Structure 1
Amino acid sequence: MDIKKLIADTENKNIEFKETLPNNSQKYIKTVVAFANGIGGKIIFGVSDDTRKIVGIEKEKAFKVVDAITNAISDSCEPAIIPDIYLKTIDEKTLIIVEIDAERQRPYYLKSLGKENGTYVRIAGTTRLADEAMIKELTFEGNNRCFDQSICLGLEITNEDIIKLCNSLKEVALRNAPDSLKHTIKDVTEKQLVSWGILIEKEGKFFPTNAYAILTGNEAFPMHIQCGLFKGNNRAIFVDKRELNGPIYEQIEEAYQFVLRNIHLGAKIKGVYRQDVYEIPPESIRELIINAAIHRSYLDRNNIQIAIYDDRLEVTSPGKLAMGQTIDKMKDGYSKIRNEALANAFSYMNLIEHWGSGIPRIINTVLNAGLKEPEFIGGDIDLRINIYRSQIHDTDLDDLNVDLDDLNVDLDDLNVDLDYQSMNLLKLIHKYPTLTYKEYGLRLNISEATVKRLFNKLKSSKIVKREGSSRNGKWIINKKSL
């Protein structure tokens, strides 16, 4: 472990610095508890938390301080937390490093304050008191249980209700399955729903779980997806908004269609064939919404929010990441299923494929479309994922009237895909023929490397050519007329 590098970095969700040992041990015990309830972390004593200056702990007092920290943690925390405490010498100064693992007997709290007032979590590099929903989430994690597989209190169902759900699940599965696999879709039975955790059977009677309420859209467990279209890049001006309800799989489809209606549609041409192409790959949009529904915390009663801005699509999923999950692990394909009953139903309905493959697939599809890599924000109280759009202002799009039918190219021999990015680049070239690769990239909100790749495709297909020098020349579109 490179201690100097850790000290140089900004204090984050799993690192905290203390210049000296506080007289009041609660000042650092709260952070110990928060680390145990989260992904673990380190408290480094002997470093100024303001200047990151290494001040050290007096060598002759170091072991006494270690004993004091060990006793304070042992006496103050419930359940017991066992830290790894050791000394490290940096620039001839002694540091005390307290390392806390992510613990499994959650929630951890201060004995003196009790579970309700003494449970702490780590949010954006700070230690904060956990609210009721967070404490419940930690309790389910500690018991290795899924909230969606718990009985939905106050909800009663009939045999007819169960049959209706079974039929609905099969209808969705058939709709989403390829024609070649439709014959493999089997009926859903009561026994199947029990094995998934959608129903619980006691003494011959079936009780619905929270997953049942979510799948049927029952108001005993209200859960909505909120969709909004905004003018600009913030939420100041609403253009359109929807609050969806009903079965979760229907909300997913309606939200998906809302996004498609409100993003740009271009064309992809190969030979004489023209195909509509959205600026953001539809499969990524759908996968992103499904991911939010399957991995969110349903203990957190906030709604999934889908916001479309001029520059991005933003999907916010309520609740902290599941125990053991991090953004980096998620991007690498590590899957931590929080809602097992829903995951089983979604898998049957062909809404999800292999565990953990969704996020890497979204990233690859977006990058292959020439867009920026999706942005992942948060994970402490919610998770926000942004996919950035191709940025040409609407006024520019209206003014740039490039019709590919007028290009001086034999389309029968054109062996190149003209996707949305290529179309937008052509329009920019028509209006701004002297821009540099970098300037085209800034206007399209794509990398300079992507611009070069698009130009190479257009040049090799003889759709564009360069006239003049690289410094003072301009781009020419090979066309008959505009």
Structure 2
Amino acid sequence: MHQAEQEIQTLIRGGESLAVEFKSDVKSLPDRDLVAAVVALANTEGGDLFLGVEDDGTPTGLHANHRNLAGLPALIANKTIPSLAVRVETLELEGQPIARIQVPKSRQLVSTSDGLLQRRRLRMDGTPEAVPFYPHEFVQRQSSLGVTDPSALPVENLAVEDLDPIQRIRIRNAIKKYGGDQSLMPLADDELDGALGLTVSVGGMRRPTVAGLLLLGNEMQLRQHLPSHEVAFQVLRGTDVLVNEFYRKPLLETFEEVEVLFRARVEEEEIQVGLFRVPIPNFDRRAFREAFVNALVHRDYSALGAVHVKLDDDGLSISNPGGFVEGVNLDNLLVADPRSRNPLLADIIKRIGLAERTGRGIDRIFEGMLRYGRTAPDYSMSSAHTVSVRMSAADADAEFLRMIVEREEQTGAAMPIDSLIILSRLRNERRLRTADLAKSVQKPETVVRGTLEKLVEAGMVEAHGTGKGRTYTLGAKVYRGAGQKAAYVRQAGFDAIQQEQMVLNFIDTHGSIKRADAADLCHISPFQATRLLNRLKDKGVIRPVGQGKGTRYERS
């Protein structure tokens, strides 16, 4: 079976999804239904429409009317607005002719020429369906694609004079407190509004933008013009609710009040590192600030639902309505170019100083967890409609922090986030290869290998083996500093003995072993496997059988 055929078989066996649609053609599918299905795919994630396949994945073939598919791309282009370009190919599956229509994800909203606008979504049972695309969802879609900025839209039925002047004082105070753009300080109020994009001119009148309303509007105005704006702060102990506060106040005022509630629950211990005492908080304040600001700035303000901040026995979680923006996902979260669903609002918050100016606030969140020996922040509960981050309340590893601080004092610079990720994983999983670590760092193996070699030079990490079988563990001084000398010996000192025993156990189980088996078993190179087998042969515990590549080894 060719690779293309295998791909088709795999897609169809996987069933329908947001990106895969089956359409029966036994009774000749009407053009309007076919075009509507294509439009729904284009307005979602794009994907494949298989014509001539039943809902259960059974191929029943194309109707005689659709045996010649040469004109189908032109038909779809003519019956979609704007015109949609698709690729069509004829395939044979289980003896039946079917058509694969490859639909690109559209960067703008697409409708049929009859004005039908649809998208795909998943039902509660996980099966997909096509549903109408309503006007209030347009901004959300265009925002996720980076086509429009919802926070820059004017609020035309609200006058600038009606906004709360106290909030401008709050903005100026925040610039002082957080080290924001000092060039904003001498500006008059109307100049400040214009410089930050809090207001725009509409028909010769100054009107607040959505970002301006969020920062300068009062609670009543926010409820009336932006009812989706809401923040919830909860503290749980077991099943008991200790705090359950909801806010609809302007953004900075909300941030300040929630931060006060959060800081009241931060507890600190201290360790001595050289001449300095270093605090160990149960929750890192900078990590909280970045995560909370991200939730406020990047949330989808066209969707109802609150930004939730929850503290419980297991840790801190922060979630917001609206999934990751286009191009960002769990696999590239650390390396994707900074993008916001609300670019103007994000820029304002950065200029005020409340968020990381480089747009790499995500690094601060990871750093605030990893440098204390805690697990990395967990975004796995995020979905297409929600971004959720979980930060564990597990006890810190004081010796791990001491190691990080001592290294930072030596270099005069903060530990890079890539190094923190690598050290954290090695601390938890003991021995890993470059390929294992590259997934967590989200960078190519060549880049990760360079970071590893720097850690090896610093004595924080040790390398074992060569080539693809090369593995890494924390260095001896790390275990020694933590009072875990025996743990280090278990990881590094017994390698040769462990490898010999693993080979002998393999032979006892399977009767013999080849060089390739030994290399794969012990995570070493073929050359190292040859040396290992020769060492056992010289000891007289195994003997070779056969010659050349077919050589295997048995017990003597």
Q: TM-score range by the shorter chain?
A: 0.5 to 0.7
Q: Which one of 272, 288, 300 corresponds to residue 291 of structure 2? A: 288
Cα offset, 1:198, TM superposition: 1.8
Cα offset, 1:145, TM superposition: 3.3
Match of 1:212, as an amino acid? G
Cα distance change, pair 207–329 in 1 and its aligned pair in 2 (3 A): same
Instruction: Report the equivalent of 2:480.
Output: 460
Q: Tell me the distance in 2 between the aligned counterparts of 1:355 and 1:100.
A: 36
Say whether residues 1:335 and 2:338 are aligned partners: yes
Q: Which one of 401, 410, 428 corresponds to residue 450 of structure 1? A: 428
Q: Tell me the distance in 2 between the aligned counterparts of 1:30 and 1:121.
A: 11
Question: Deviation digits for residues 310-369 of structure 1, max 9, x if unmatched?
Answer: 334322221344455555454432233322331221121112334642335534553444
Q: Which runs of 5+ in 2 are unaligned?
A: 224-228, 405-423, 431-472, 491-556
Question: Deviation digits for residues 274-311 of structure 1, max 9, x if unmatched?
Answer: 43323443322211111111111212232211223433
Match of 2:177, as an amino acid? R
1:185-224 paired onto structure 2 within 5 Å: 186-189=185-188, 190-191=190-191, 193-194=193-194, 196-202=196-202, 205-218=205-218, 219-222=220-223, 223-224=229-230
Instruction: Report the equivalent of 1:443.
Output: none
Instruction: Report the equivalent of 1:358.
Output: 361
Cα offset, 1:225, TM superposition: 1.0
Q: Tell me the distance in 2 between the aligned counterparts of 1:376 and 1:349.
A: 31
1:226-237 paired onto structure 2 within 5 Å: 226-232=232-238
Match of 2:378, as an amino acid? P
1:172-191 paired onto structure 2 within 5 Å: 172-177=174-179, 186-189=185-188, 190-191=190-191
Contact 2:308–2:318 under 8 Å retained in 1: yes
Q: Tell me the distance in 1 between the aligned counterparts of 2:105 and 2:402.
A: 49
The 3-state SS of whatever aligns with 2:341 is coil
Q: Tell me the distance in 1 between the aligned counterparts of 2:400 and 2:315.
A: 31
Instruction: Report the equivalent of 1:41.
Output: 47
Cα distance change, pair 229–92 in 1 and its aligned pair in 2 (3 A): farther
Contact 2:146–2:326 under 8 Å retained in 1: no
Question: Deviation digits for residues 163-205 of structure 1, max 9, x if unmatched?
Answer: 655443222111101xxx8866643453453354321124653
1:272-421 paired onto structure 2 within 5 Å: 273-323=276-326, 326-328=329-331, 330-354=333-357, 356-363=359-366, 365-369=368-372, 370-380=374-384, 382-391=385-394, 417=402
The 3-state SS of whatever aligns with 1:301 is coil
Q: Tell me the distance in 2 between the aligned counterparts of 1:330 and 1:174.
A: 31
Q: Which one of 102, 105, 129 corresponds to residue 102 of structure 1? A: 105
Match of 2:245, as an amino acid? R
Instruction: Report the equivalent of 1:15.
Output: 20
Cα distance change, pair 168–33 in 1 and its aligned pair in 2 (3 A): same
1:117-136 paired onto structure 2 within 5 Å: 118-123=117-122, 126-127=128-129, 128-131=131-134, 133-136=136-139
Q: Which runs of 5+ in 1 are unaligned?
A: 398-403, 405-413, 420-445, 471-482
Contact 1:210–1:221 under 8 Å retained in 2: no
Instruction: Report the equivalent of 2:159.
Output: 156
Q: Tell me the distance in 2 between the aligned counterparts of 1:131 and 1:314.
A: 32
Cα offset, 1:90, TM superposition: 7.3
The 3-state SS of whatever aligns with 1:334 is coil
Match of 2:176, as an amino acid? L
Contact 1:333–1:360 under 8 Å retained in 2: no
Q: Tell me the distance in 2 between the aligned counterparts of 1:463 and 1:38.
A: 55
Number of positions where the alignment pairs a residue of Structure 1 with one of Structure 2: 412
Question: Deviation digits for residues 120-156 of structure 1, max 9, x if unmatched?
Answer: 2445773344455323434677994322222224422
Contact 2:44–2:119 under 8 Å retained in 1: no
Cα distance change, pair 88–263 in 1 and its aligned pair in 2 (3 A): farther
Q: Tell me the distance in 1 between the aligned counterparts of 2:389 and 2:146.
A: 33
Say whether residues 1:249 and 2:255 are aligned partners: no
Cα distance change, pair 194–208 in 1 and its aligned pair in 2 (3 A): same
Q: Tell me the distance in 2 between the aligned counterparts of 1:366 and 1:162.
A: 38
The 3-state SS of whatever aligns with 2:201 is strand
Percent identity reads 17
Contact 1:227–1:255 under 8 Å retained in 2: yes
Q: Tell me the distance in 1 between the aligned counterparts of 2:32 and 2:269.
A: 59
Contact 2:235–2:241 under 8 Å retained in 1: yes
Contact 2:143–2:150 under 8 Å retained in 1: yes
- The structure showing larger relative contact order (alpha-carbon pairs under 8 Å, at least 6 residues apart) is 1
Cα offset, 1:81, TM superposition: 2.7
Contact 1:197–1:340 under 8 Å retained in 2: no
Cα distance change, pair 70–210 in 1 and its aligned pair in 2 (3 A): same
Cα distance change, pair 312–466 in 1 and its aligned pair in 2 (3 A): same
Greater Cα offset, 213-222 or 9-18: 9-18
Contact 2:287–2:367 under 8 Å retained in 1: no
The 3-state SS of whatever aligns with 2:338 is coil
Say what the alpha-carbon RMSD is for the aligned residues: 4.5
Q: Tell me the distance in 1 between the aligned counterparts of 2:39 and 2:141.
A: 12
Q: Tell me the distance in 2 between the aligned counterparts of 1:89 and 1:358.
A: 50
Cα distance change, pair 361–415 in 1 and its aligned pair in 2 (3 A): closer
The 3-state SS of whatever aligns with 1:417 is helix
Contact 1:268–1:418 under 8 Å retained in 2: no
Determine which structure has more spread, i.e. the larger CA radius of gyration: 2
